[in-house]
């Protein structure tokens, strides 16, 4: 029953989409969007590992014995907020690069750097 692994395959596909955007596009903003897709795929990977069949959300209540694993939830919860903070730093760098080079295309930035040497 290989189909039971479908959650990992979705994660791999999403991760590769993000990876492709990062390496194939020269635009820095697009690279950041790609990185965030990559990041979300890792989030989905963790959360799908925490899922237990027949379990519910990990909030204790009467009459429920099966809960999903809370530990990956904690890790990802904080990772999402840290992720947006680091994404913001990335965007800030892109803005500064635009101001310094007049472009956020990788090729043009490299061309300018080569001219300066």
Partner 1 sequence: MKDLLSVIMLSGIYGLLSASFFVAMDAVDVAFTEASVGAGISTLLMLVAITMTGRSEHPVRHKPVLALAVVIITGSLLIYGTLDMPYFGSADAPVHTHVAPRYINDSMQEVGVPNIVTSVLASYRAFDTFGEVIVIFTAGMGILALLSVVRRPEDVAKIDSLNDSMHEQHLILRVVAKILIPFILLYALYVQFHGDYGPGGGFQAGVIFASAIFLYAMLFGMSTARRVINQSFIQLIAAIGVLLYGSVGVVSLLSGKNYFDYSALSADPIAGQHLGILLIELGVGFTVASVMVIIFFNFAGRRENSQNLEYNNKENKKV
Q: Is the CB of 24 or the CB of 113 nearer to partner 1?
A: 24
Return the residue of 6, 110, 111, 113 that touches partner 1, per CB under 8 A.
6
Task: Give the relative orientation of helices 106-116 and 70-101 as an angle to the nearest 10 degrees.
Answer: 50
100 scored as a contact of partner 1 (CB under 8 A) = no
C-alpha–C-alpha distance, residues 32 and 24, integer Å? 12
Minimal distance in Å, beta carbon 108 to partner 1? 8
Return the residue of 38, 42, 108, 117 that touches partner 1, per CB under 8 A.
108
Return the residue of 9, 100, 111, 112 that touches partner 1, per CB under 8 A.
9
Task: Find the binding residues for partner 1 in span 65-84 (CB under 8 A).
Answer: 66-74, 76-84
C-alpha–C-alpha distance, residues 46 and 44, integer Å? 5
25 scored as a contact of partner 1 (CB under 8 A) = yes
C-alpha–C-alpha distance, residues 15 and 36, integer Å? 10
Number of residues in contact with partner 1, rule: CB under 8 A? 79
117 scored as a contact of partner 1 (CB under 8 A) = no
Minimal distance in Å, beta carbon 97 to partner 1? 8
From the number of C-beta atoms within 10 Å of its C-beta (0-12, 13-18, 19+), residue 34 rates as buried
Q: Which residues, at least 6 apart from 12, have a Cβ–Cβ distance to it below 8 Å?
A: 41
């Amino acid at each position: 029953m290989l189909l039971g692994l479908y959650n990992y395959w979705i994660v791999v596909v999403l991760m590769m989409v993000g990876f492709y955007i990062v390496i194939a596009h020269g635009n820095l903003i697009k690279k950041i969007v790609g990185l965030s897709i990559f990041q979300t795929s890792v989030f989905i990977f963790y959360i799908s590992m925490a899922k237990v069949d027949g379990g519910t959300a990990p909030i204790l209540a009467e009459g429920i014995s099966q809960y999903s694993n809370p530990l990956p939830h904690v890790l990802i919860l904080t990772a999402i907020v840290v992720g947006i903070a680091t994404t913001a730093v990335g965007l800030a760098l892109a803005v500064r690069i635009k101001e310094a080079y007049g472009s956020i295309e990788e090729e043009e930035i490299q061309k300018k750097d080569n001219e300066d040497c």
